[in-house]
Chains A and B, each alone.
Chain A
């Protein structure tokens, strides 16, 4: 049975991962979606503000989605997300990083316009193996309420 809106309470939801990111992963994403020299070429990257080859910030966002799916979204009656309040790229993603994702529930509130769902406000902290925060993301997700069609 999948978790519904009523199962979420403010507090620590869980820490997920690790998820390994290789140099090839970084270059494959950047080649398709963000082909800037700092994400593709060691030599150019060493001269950039980020001082060395780094993954695209949008790659980190895509990895946040994947780690969230593997970690908990697959187990909840999710109805998607209307958007993202804020993403902060704090430190660069580097080749070989093993990422963990720490997720806290900040608040929950039923939807006024859609009685079958509620909003669960999540704070996501993506860290590398040494515990350094790479990205912070505040994201509201929509979760079906207990008894809603398709919830259980």
Chain B
């Protein structure tokens, strides 16, 4: 992870890609979202989605999975430059999450993250708060998922 000071508004990064399969869609749904159109192909075909559809929360959780893998890549890039990797902070939440299109079995989403805004915090001088516009686009180039994430990022002055 970069320090707060090194984050540029407008910087965009491809976080990673993930293919939703009948197996991973049903495994998530069984635990967390057992609606018929997430568990059964025929129920999915007969629903508004037109096929076995991933839970929207599964689509969101995969964003986090790919983001953590991307954090690790950024850490390795930092080590390669001879810098010490920076640990990111937690998130206070998110806004404007939109499930724009169904994600069906066989779909591959490519997730991207763009820095939307940043600000320092009077109450926590060792951290800054950064907002990211994150999105997931399917293999046809259609925007399927987006939200505005927030994360605490460490300030260089606190290092």
Chain A interface (Cβ < 8 Å from any Cβ of B):
32-38, 48-50, 56-58, 61-63, 65-66, 69, 73, 78-89
Contacts and interface: CB of A to CB of B under 8 A. Distances in A.
Contact of B64 (A58, A79, A83, A86): A58
Most chain A beta-carbon neighbours within 10 Å: one of B61, B89, B99: B61
B97 A83 contact: yes
Nearest to B24: A32
A34 B64 contact: yes
B55 interface: yes
B56 interface: yes
A61 B31 CA distance: 12
B33 A66 contact: yes
Contacts of B62: 33
A129 B130 CA distance: 32
B93 interface: yes
Nearest to A56: B64
Given A49-B127, A57-B90, A83-B147, 11 more contacts: A32-B61, A33-B62, A35-B65, A62-B61, A66-B34, A69-B35, A80-B48, A81-B56, A85-B95, A88-B92, A89-B91
Contacts of B33: 62, 65-66, 69
Given A57-B93, A87-B93, A62 B31 contact: yes
Nearest to B53: A80
B68 A48 contact: no
A29 to B, nearest CB: 8
A66 B32 contact: yes
- List the 9 shortest-distance A-B pairs measured between CB atoms, nearest first: A83-B98, A84-B97, A62-B32, A88-B93, A33-B61, A33-B65, A66-B32, A86-B95, A34-B64
